[in-house]
Structure 1
Amino acid sequence: MENTICYRLKSQPRKFDKNPPTVCYDKPEAAQVNKAEYDEKRYNAIMGDVVETLVVPKKSARTWTMEKGDLCRITICEGSQVGDMNFWNLDNTKERFYSGKTRQIHSTHLKIYDRLWSNLPYLNPMATFIFDTLKDYGIDEDGGSCHDVIGTRCDDYTYKLITGEDRFGSCHSYLTEAVKERGLTEADVHDVWNIFMCTGFTRDTQQYFCKPSPSRKGDFIEFIADMRLLVALSCCPQGDVSIAVGQFVPDEVCHPLKVEIFRKKDK
């Protein structure tokens, strides 16, 4: 009898009900911003002062701070390059960027007027994405899009898992070194916002994929700080991410990124 039941189960494939998808977090009011208000904030900041300028060298990371209302512009200053970003509340670094919740509230790839949210139990908007020269890329024929919050930063642990070789040279290790000057440790480095990166999931196997970044010299993104921030940015050693992790990456595909902080003038 038991064998008969097993045979019937094998010979009669299970049928599943067909249901339409339900968007779990369908534009909650708290996640929406007044576009006119943020456009004005952007204008006021850009018409104000550049209070800091720095260049993150290729294959390294740097940190900077922002006051609430500051605008950060990150520019492709030499050649196509992706970056991995971390965010902390400057006044309480236990509060930090939560890529998973940001993904749930908005989408897998951030668009202008989306926000970057902090971890539990805080769940505050940390910054608002306000401008993007790549916004017209949209979603391509393979489902790829830019600026994702799905992929974790590359790291030397996974590199060894793939290749069997030890190395120092990943976004995780660069970010870890950069935050030491701020009194933070490896444990404070967290999942990232992948800027300028073109990614998605394959339709047949649902595997995470990357494409060469569509960014070119002069492209930039901007975001506005919604609280006082400590920010870290790594210039990924994968460069434009045209080569799979574990394979040799020529140095010439890696480039620096320029960072500028704009602040509204005091009245």
Structure 2
Amino acid sequence: MGNPPAAYRASAGGALDVDRAFYTRLAEEDGRETVESFTVPIRSGRAWEVPAGHLCRISTPEGPQVGDLNIWNRHDPRERMWAARTRQLQAAHVSVFDRLWSTLPFLRPLATVTADTLAGYGTDAEGGRVHDLLGTRCDPYVNQMLTGEDFDFHCHSNLVRAVLPYGLTEFDVHDVLNVFQCTGLNDEDRYFMKASPARPGDHIEFFAETDLLMALSTCPGGDLSVDLWGPEARDPLEVCRPLAVEVLRPDPALLDDWTPPRRAGYAGLHGLHRPEWADRGGER
């Protein structure tokens, strides 16, 4: 007996029916121009802008390292990546052709995955998969609750510091995409994390469907090969590594037939009645 089908399924030509040929062309290396590149050191965070129609590549230059990624509409941070709906519309672990969807009332793809060197990892013997939307960022609040100790460089704190120059605060930091992180659910339906399978030079790449602000934390847990909590916990500093970021402009000719996605078509009335005069050009 097979597994039941996904609840949210694409219909031909519908919003979930991705133009794979278009995104495959974008993943080609020819004709690209590097707009910005930098390295995010261990246990830190950084935010940056990605213009619509550009690509952003995150890579592991020195080997396995987990990164916690947040995404916002650059012009309206109320529109931000919605991890829960993305899990429903795409998958709990994303790869090529999956899209990262935004919050209500916007509900549109903010970014689409165009390349992933770990796409072949699949599902391992313990049910682990990579690029995780199941969990969220580590934070100093739960750490203090579990250990009684304060630590200021969890991913939540790293992201808070990263977005301050853009006028955002702790309240704008949201559930993340854990890039290069291997996770799953165990037999008790509880979340587990495994050592990242990334190698030096692995990468995941996104196409910006609109002007984006992105922020990334290099997780203080490093590659997650060391227990962070529980009886075997110890400081994983020795398995922490940097992450590299590149913003790339593709060949403009590739975007000739592309337009940024529109926000959701629903009018947002939620069953509230319109006044009679509203249908007469505003006459009272």
Asked if Structure 1 and Structure 2 have the same fold, meaning a TM-score greater than 0.5 normalized by the shorter chain, the answer is: yes
C-alpha contact 2:123 2:129 (8 A) present in aligned 1: yes
Report deviation, 1:22. 4.5
Following superposition, the deviation at residue 264 of structure 1 comes to 2.7
Match for residue 86 of structure 1 among 70, 87, 110: 70
TM-score for both structures, normalised by structure 1? 0.89
Once residues 240 and 18 of structure 2 are traced to their aligned partners in structure 1, the CA distance between those partners, rounded to angstroms, is 35
| Alignment correspondent of 1:121 | 105
The answer to whether the aligner puts 1:187 opposite 2:171 as a matched pair is yes
Moved over 4 A (4+): none
Contact map agreement 2:220 2:236 (CA 8 A) in 1: no
Code of the aligned partner of 1:253: V
Q: Which runs of 5+ in 1 are unaligned?
A: 1-17
Instruction: Note the C-alpha offset of 1:243.
Output: 2.1
What amino acid does structure 1 have at the position aligned with 2:118? L
* Identity score, percent: 46
Q: Distance in 1 between matches of 2:159 and 2:182?
A: 21
Structure (1/2) with the larger helix percentage: 1
Residue number in structure 1 paired with 2:196: 213
Correspondence 1:230 to 2:233 = no
**Rounded Cα–Cα distance in structure 2 between residues aligned with 1:249 and 1:46:** 43
CA-to-aligned-CA distance 1:11-42 (integer Å, 9 cap, x gap): xxxxxxx9973521123531221111112233
Task: Find 1:134's aligned residue among 104, 118, 136.
Answer: 118
CA offset digits 1:149-194 (Å, max 9, x no partner): 1101000001011111222120000000110011100000000001
Q: CA deviation at 1:245?
A: 2.6
Deviation at 1:201, TM superposition (A): 0.4
Q: Could you tell me how far apart the structure 1 residues matched to 2:202 and 2:168 are?
A: 31
Alpha-carbon distance between aligned partners in 2 of 1:34 and 1:143, rounded to the nearest angstrom: 29
Matched, 1:110 2:94: yes
What RMSD over aligned residues (CA atoms) do the two structures have, in Å?
A: 1.7
CA contact (8 A) 1:31 1:114 kept: no
Indicate yes or no: 2:13 matched with 1:27. no
Distance verdict in 2 for CA 1:123–1:22, change over 3 Å? same
Bigger shift: residues 190-199 or 240-249: 240-249
Q: Which residue of 2 aligns with 1:55?
A: 39
| CA–CA distance in structure 2, aligned partners of residues 117 and 110 of structure 1 | 12
Evaluate the alpha carbon distance shift between residue 208 and residue 20 of structure 1 in structure 2; reply closer, same or farther with a 3 A threshold: closer
* Equivalent-residue separation in structure 1 for 2:197 and 2:227 (angstroms): 17
Q: Which moved more, 1:52-61 or 1:242-251?
A: 242-251
Alpha-carbon spacing, 1:185–1:211, altered in 2? closer, same or farther (3 Å): same
Aligned to 1:100: 84
The CA distance in 2 between the partners of 1:178 and 1:264, in whole Å, is 27
Point out where structure 2 has 5 or more consecutive residues left out of the alignment: 254-284
Q: What displacement does 1:49 show?
A: 0.9
Given candidates 22, 35, 39, the residue that maps to 1:37 is 22
Could you tell me how far apart the structure 1 residues matched to 2:216 and 2:123 are?
A: 25
Cα distance in 2 between the residues matched to 1:101 and 1:250? 32
Contact between 2:228 and 2:236, CA under 8 Å: does it hold in 1? no
2:49 to 56, 65, 74: 65
